[in-house]
Amino acid sequence: MSTTLTTPTNKIADVLKELGIQEINSGVSTGSTWMRGEGATLASHSPVDGALIGSVRSASRSEYEKALAVAQQGFLEWRTWPAPKRGEVVRQLGEELRKHKAGLGKLVSYEMGKSYQEGLGEVQEMIDICDFAVGLSRQLHGLTMHSERPDHRMYEQWHPLGLVGIITAFNFPVAVWSWNTALAWVSGDVCLWKPSEKTPLCSVACQHITAEVFKRNGVPEGVSVIVNGGREVGEWMSNDTRIPLLSATGSTRMGKAVGAAVGQRLGRALLELGGNNAIIISDKADLDMSLIGAVFGAVGTAGQRCTTTRRLIIHDTVYEAFKQKLVKAYGQLRIGDPLDEKNHVGPLIDTHAVELYLSALNAAKAQGATIAVEGGVVTGKGYESGCYVKPAIVEATPEMTIVQEETFAPILYLLRYSGDINEAIAIQNNVKQGLSSAIMTLDLREAERFLGVGGSDCGIANVNIGTSGAEIGGAFGGEKETGGGRESGSDAWKTYMRRQTNTINHGAKLPLAQGIKFDL
């Protein structure tokens, strides 16, 4: 693997100006209004070169209360807007994001560390979900049912839920917010966003873009609220009965804490948590096509996607041949400045992530695994941030403890199977997480077995594509310790609304259901 890095600080100075980013920013806003930010200061250092991009002042508890009160007031008006009119506002936001795609994509790349192409892809996801939500704004439909009683009509309708809390992770600092907000806004909800403290400047940029669109359209203050801060802000939100739905993306440990707090107050929690995703490489697979899916899935975003490919379950008869293809491909990876499009792999988010990566590799060795492609920290001139690591390949067995865990880093475990597809599926399902899965096979029966009852137990199951790169048209989420939440496409919009069943008697009598007689 070759390593290249240029210092990109000067490359994004114009981007920061374009997106309204200053040296010191308030991280608390109710729309066009920015509060002082009386909490702790969050310093955003780029993992690319370690440079300080800017600082964000986080919210105090009193500012949180003020922001939430504005959101509650804004909801009272926003919910009365016709859904297609709300959709028109979201359409304009999508257009504004198109104008800022290059700049916001660069900021995502520089603040988080993913490649510029992936940064652009993340902004494109924002644009796509806006387009999806615009059409959805005219299709928030309910069902009509036949009543057993004469001269009665029964139907269901959907109403706005209220204030939606959103907690996002560093690895997708803008897209996951938009998945929630676009659907929530057309549904008539207002949103309060706690971004990751590791990528606060992306939230400031998104709020500036959104506020401009909202101001042009007379959207009430409080429909889009951001409250930057640390763990305490998430705890305020989790325990706040004024927030009927809390969408949280992050680790399983974090999700369990959020789920317990929200459940105790009988609120709704939409959880998108860890993944330990596998690709089954059948002996009937196209190995060249499989290679592309496996390598991108394993090293994209430096292994910091919830859908990252962490396990390859390879049939014994093609194991050695495919391993050699992988080793050769890894030897061609370029590690370095993510804004340089010649590079494949950028940095991890911070040095703590590097420590976890090294700890996982040491644990794998201690448990008897064999290293097929050595990992390690990339050092030398230009890599002073200490956040660059080499993607590693580890030959392991399914029962190893480290294989059962999710390490947010580019470590790929190779596992063998020698029986039929049922053995491979059993290995794949034998982890606590259940987000994304894939099989590479040209055998129709194997593919259908993988997708059918008793097949993959994940929320996402793919055939002849990898585990990463979900489109917004399908509902995104997983099972087991992944949390069970669904965001983005399909009918995920129902999560952001409350269902109401209505029965209307338009006759002259009042018959009771189930034929009950109650004569006075």
> Is it the case that residue 377 has pLDDT exceeding 60?
yes
This model's pTM is above 0.85: yes
Spatial separation of the C-alpha atoms in residues 80 and 233, rounded to whole Å? 29
pLDDT of residue 38: 97
pLDDT of residue 1: 52
Spatial separation of the C-alpha atoms in residues 71 and 373, rounded to whole Å? 51
Which tokens hold the place of 237?
């939100």
DSSP string over 196-257? -TTSHHHHHHHHHHHHHHHHHHTPPTTSEEEE--SHHHHHHHHT-TT-SEEEEES-HHHHHH
Find the Cα–Cα–Cα–Cα dihedral 233, 476, 408, 124, rounded to 10°.
Answer: -90
Greatest CA separation for the chain: 91
* Angle, CA 220 vertex, CA 215 and CA 223 arms, to 5°: 100
Evaluate whether 13 touches 51 at the Cβ level (below 8 Å): no
Spatial separation of the C-alpha atoms in residues 125 and 429, rounded to whole Å? 29
Band of residue 5 on the pLDDT scale cut at 50, 70, 90: very low
Evaluate whether 223 touches 80 at the Cβ level (below 8 Å): no
What would the pLDDT profile of 446-488 be if each residue is shown by its tens digit? 999 999 999 999 999 999 999 998 899 999 999 999 999 999 9
Which tokens hold the place of 234?
């998430």
pLDDT of residue 355: 98
Catalytic residue among 306, 406, 458, 487: 306
- Which has the closest alpha carbon to 349: 11, 46, 41? 46
Mean pLDDT in residue range 69-82: 98
pLDDT of residue 399: 96
Band of residue 3 on the pLDDT scale cut at 50, 70, 90: very low
Percent of the chain with pLDDT over 70: 98
pLDDT of residue 4: 42
What would the pLDDT profile of 339-362 be if each residue is shown by its tens digit? 999 999 999 999 999 999 999 999
> 259's torsion region: left (phi>0), alpha (psi -120 to 50) or beta?
alpha
DSSP SS3 for 301: helix
What would the pLDDT profile of 222-239 be if each residue is shown by its tens digit? 999 999 999 999 999 999
> Is it the case that residue 371 has pLDDT exceeding 60?
yes
- Which has the closest alpha carbon to 212: 202, 194, 224? 224
C-alpha 496: how far from its chain's center?
Answer: 17
Is residue 272 annotated as a catalytic residue, yes or no? Answer: yes
Spatial separation of the C-alpha atoms in residues 390 and 279, rounded to whole Å? 21
C-alpha 65: how far from its chain's center?
Answer: 27
Residue keyed to tokens 């007379």: 218
Catalytic residue among 272, 406, 481, 487: 272
Q: How far is CA 378 from CA 374, 391, 412, 453, 477, in A?
A: 12, 10, 18, 45, 33
How many other CB atoms sit within 10 Å of the CB of residue 507?
A: 11
The residues near 64 (Cβ < 8 Å, ≥ 6 apart) are 227, 229, 233, 236
Tell me the sheet residues that pair with 468.
none
Spatial separation of the C-alpha atoms in residues 452 and 493, rounded to whole Å? 26
The residues near 11 (Cβ < 8 Å, ≥ 6 apart) are 106, 110, 339
Mean pLDDT in residue range 386-392: 98
pLDDT of residue 8: 45
What would the pLDDT profile of 488-516 be if each residue is shown by its tens digit? 999 999 999 999 999 999 999 999 999 99
> 514's torsion region: left (phi>0), alpha (psi -120 to 50) or beta?
left
What would the pLDDT profile of 182-204 be if each residue is shown by its tens digit? 999 999 999 999 999 999 999 99
Per mean pLDDT, which range of 67-76, 249-258, 376-385, 490-499 is the poorest?
376-385
